[in-house]
A and B are shown apart, each in its own frame.
Chain A
Amino acid sequence: QVQLQESGPGLVKPSETLSLICAVSGYSIRSNYYWGWIRQPPGKGLEWIGSFYHSGSTYYNPSLKSRVTISVDTSKNQFSLRLSSVTAADTAFYYCARSGDISGANDYWGQGTLVTVSS
């Protein structure tokens, strides 16, 4: 059974960098599939942040591209998200998820973690 678990600081100061990790169990992220990040401000809709393919290619939401980095640690079977220069607008639940193919249908999700940007 594939499981994803997000972890990281729940509070980040404005202008600093948000860093989260998604630990994957039950499947090797270097074997196949797309793995990515999606966020949801409290009470609002979902926003795709970015993803990577098992081969190493990364893809980002054009509106966030200048601030986002997704990296992979295959030795630990986990991937991470870094979002720089955060503001209050980046306060959200952050989910990591898996998509089986380019369709973007995310069939496995983490439980999500709330990150608040505040001084």
Chain B
Amino acid sequence: QSALTQPPSASGSPGQSVTISCTGTSSDVGAYKYVSWYQQHPGKAPKLMISEVSKRPAGVPDRFSGSKSGNTASLTVSGLQAEDEADYYCSSYAGSNTYVFGTGTKVTVL
């Protein structure tokens, strides 16, 4: 069970869009529609932003959207705002009631 692969960093100017990839295998991301995305600000606990590939929990702005194709899931943040600067982690169900997280991506708002 290896960590899902994410780019270490991503950036964009205010108002622009940024997309973060999350690559797994046919045993986790590719096998299930159970990919979640979390936002983590420094010193804080992670916050759920997307569940089940593309579902937004109540209170999460619709600027955040998720998708999946094959073994790769993606999180897109549209209309970047200063408060979106944070670390983002994906997570996937990996079968047998086990889970695996991604390596994390630091998003910088230029």
Contacts and interface: CB of A to CB of B under 8 A. Distances in A.
Given A59-B98, A95-B45, A109-B45, A48 B91 contact: yes
Nearest to A59: B97
A109 B97 CA distance: 19
A105 B98 contact: no
B3 A45 contact: yes
Contacts of A51: 97, 99
Interface size class, chain A: 20 to 34
A103 B100 CA distance: 11
A112 B1 CA distance: 24
Contacts, number: 69
A104 B3 contact: no
Given A102-B93, A106-B46, A109-B46, A47 B52 contact: no
A61 interface: yes
A110 B101 CA distance: 18
B95 to A, nearest CB: 10
A60 B3 CA distance: 15
Given A59-B97, A61-B1, A62-B1, A103 B45 contact: no
B45 A104 contact: no
Interface in A89-119: 95, 102-107, 109-112
Contact of A47 (B38, B96, B97, B101): B101
A63 interface: yes
A59 B98 CA distance: 7
B1 A104 contact: no
Given A59-B98, A61-B98, A105-B36, A111 B45 contact: yes
B70 interface: no
Given A61-B98, A106-B36, 17 more contacts: A47-B101, A48-B98, A48-B99, A48-B100, A51-B97, A51-B99, A59-B98, A60-B98, A63-B1, A103-B51, A104-B92, A104-B93, A105-B91, A106-B38, A109-B45, A110-B45, A112-B45
